[in-house]
């Protein structure tokens, strides 16, 4: 049987033997460090309920739109992969589709992560294929029946120190509270305040959602009442351990409005009468207001812009959201964020982490911003860019103008629980490779490289996310 990867040969490390040996030293010094995961989309219920995973397909395929979108591009119907509203497919049949198409994942981020998961979690080193489909399925299915493969046991085995979830502002966070009170569980699972749907007049159900928010906080239907309601819910999250507020916007546009103008737009938004420009202005003003609240309550502000959601309407109508056709668009930070940074760019203890799926912005905008503003941090490569070569390109693009200490530390940002260790391991190997090259070229000393390798997985994410 061919093996998928030979770890001894220096998986993801430089090909040149001297550089590889420096990289291996650096990597080995951080390989087993605990995982700090301050932003992601694992459901809190997974950890709270601690139920066994149902089958290999549910664990590794159905909920991973990186995997299903690739199979969709090869001509498979999403419903036949068990993806989308009401879809149900035989798990073994879906697994067989993945196995028969495994060559399509060669060289892709998903291919790397799955290969690592097969190997490190299930001891599977033979490549997936039509011939190995049944045996690999059975092996994983058998493992999932073991107590060692329950979500909480895996949490320990993955050495996760902190894991943040992403939550609706009106969530009561009861699950987080019960986990915090459960002394048999030692990990930290933190909520994250994610208010997008309450800030965008063009979001489906905006008016009803804001009305619920005002009702829940007993605030008046005024712009000031709305701000107070949001501040109150943020405080609720802070009291329950949240360290950040996340903003998924199409563009990082910000606007500083007079109260009267904001009030007029707010009332128009509730009545659903804003035109596109007014809705944009309102969103931009709210992003600035959220920064102001972060200055007050200390929540780290993370911004994830530049993704056109649900690109294919027919697929969205049939299968729903998060089904693989969210696509990157060009993003502009420097002008868009200027109103926000004029107000808060130098505010004490304000942290603004900027993520991107448009890699042209790293050297042109994000690193230069982070190289001046003490509040701005460069978010780790996100979504389509959290892959080995893209992470190397990112380091090359940002380091010369901002160094290592203005970056966020690695962020897995995933829903795929079992891919968390594989993703962090990828970042550790790639960062070690990048540092090894600087050492080999005489640009950075080995002791400094060792210090940086450690800080990247520990000190830096803890500082940036105030952990």
Tell me whether residue 171 or residue 413 sits nearer to Zn ion (CB atom).
Answer: 413
Tell me whether residue 167 or residue 413 sits nearer to Zn ion (CB atom).
Answer: 413
Q: Which residues bind to Zn ion, rule: CB under 5 A?
A: 413
Tell me whether residue 121 or residue 391 sits nearer to Zn ion (CB atom).
Answer: 391
Give the nearest distance from C-beta 423 to Zn ion in angstroms: 13
Give the nearest distance from C-beta 186 to Zn ion in angstroms: 25
Tell me whether residue 165 or residue 289 sits nearer to Zn ion (CB atom).
Answer: 165
Give the nearest distance from C-beta 86 to Zn ion in angstroms: 26
Locate 460 and state its tokens.
Answer: 């830096």
Give the nearest distance from C-beta 226 to Zn ion in angstroms: 25
Decide the pairing of beta strands 327-328 and 307-308.
antiparallel
Nearest to 397, CA basis, from 429, 372, 371, 364: 364
Tell me whether residue 37 or residue 336 sits nearer to Zn ion (CB atom).
Answer: 37
Give the nearest distance from C-beta 41 to Zn ion in angstroms: 6
Tell me whether residue 64 or residue 413 sits nearer to Zn ion (CB atom).
Answer: 413
Give the nearest distance from C-beta 310 to Zn ion in angstroms: 16
Give the nearest distance from C-beta 232 to Zn ion in angstroms: 24
Tell me whether residue 124 or residue 164 sits nearer to Zn ion (CB atom).
Answer: 164
Backbone angles phi, psi at 126, to 5 degrees: -80, 150
Give the nearest distance from C-beta 67 to Zn ion in angstroms: 18
CB-closest chain residue to Zn ion: 413
Tell me whether residue 162 or residue 214 sits nearer to Zn ion (CB atom).
Answer: 162
């Amino acid at each position: 049987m061919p093996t998928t990867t030979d770890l001894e040969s220096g998986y993801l490390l430089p090909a040149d033997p001297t550089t590889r040996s420096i990289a291996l030293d650096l990597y080995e010094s951080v390989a087993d460090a605990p995982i700090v995961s301050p932003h992601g989309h694992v459901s809190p219920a997974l950890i709270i309920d601690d139920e066994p995973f149902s089958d290999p397909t549910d664990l590794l395929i159905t909920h991973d739109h990186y995997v299903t979108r690739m199979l969709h591009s090869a001509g498979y119907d999403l419903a036949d992969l068990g993806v989308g509203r009401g879809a149900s497919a035989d798990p073994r049949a879906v697994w067989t589709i993945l196995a028969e198409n495994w060559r399509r994942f060669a060289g892709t981020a998903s291919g790397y992560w799955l290969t690592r998961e097969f190997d490190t979690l299930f001891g599977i080193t033979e490549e997936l294929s039509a011939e190995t489909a049944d045996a690999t399925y059975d092996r994983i299915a058998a493992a999932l029946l073991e107590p060692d493969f329950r979500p909480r046991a895996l949490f320990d085995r993955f050495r996760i120190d902190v894991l943040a979830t992403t939550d609706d502002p009106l969530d009561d966070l009861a699950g987080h509270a019960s986990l915090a009170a459960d002394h048999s569980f030692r990990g930290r699972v933190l909520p994250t305040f994610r208010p997008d749907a309450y800030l965008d007049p063009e979001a489906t159900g905006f008016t009803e959602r804001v009305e619920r928010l005002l009702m829940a906080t007993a605030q008046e239907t005024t712009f000031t009442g709305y701000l107070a309601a949001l501040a109150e819910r943020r405080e609720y999250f802070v009291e329950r351990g949240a360290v950040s507020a996340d903003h998924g916007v199409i563009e990082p546009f910000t606007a500083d409005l007079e109260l009267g103008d904001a009030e007029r737009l707010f009332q128009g938004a509730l009545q659903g009468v804003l035109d596109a420009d007014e809705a944009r202005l309102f969103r931009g003003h709210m992003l600035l207001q959220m920064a102001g609240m972060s200055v007050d309550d200390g929540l780290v502000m993370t911004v994830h812009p530049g993704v056109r959601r649900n690109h294919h309407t027919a697929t969205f109508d049939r299968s729903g959201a998060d089904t693989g056709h969210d696509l990157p668009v060009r993003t502009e930070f420097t002008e868009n964020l200027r109103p926000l940074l004029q107000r808060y760019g130098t505010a004490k203890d304000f942290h603004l982490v900027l993520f991107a799926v448009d890699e042209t912005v790293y050297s042109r905008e994000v690193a230069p911003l982070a190289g001046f503003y003490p509040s701005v941090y460069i978010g780790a490569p996100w979504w389509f860019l959290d892959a080995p070569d893209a992470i190397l390109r990112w380091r090359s693009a940002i380091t010369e103008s901002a160094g290592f200490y203005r970056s966020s530390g690695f962020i897995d940002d995933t829903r795929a629980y079992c891919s968390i260790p594989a993703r962090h391991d990828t970042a550790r190997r790639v960062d070690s490779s990048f540092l090894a090259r600087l050492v080999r070229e005489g640009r950075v000393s080995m002791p400094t490289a060792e210090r940086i390798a450690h800080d990247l997985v520990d000190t830096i994410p803890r500082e940036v996310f105030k952990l």
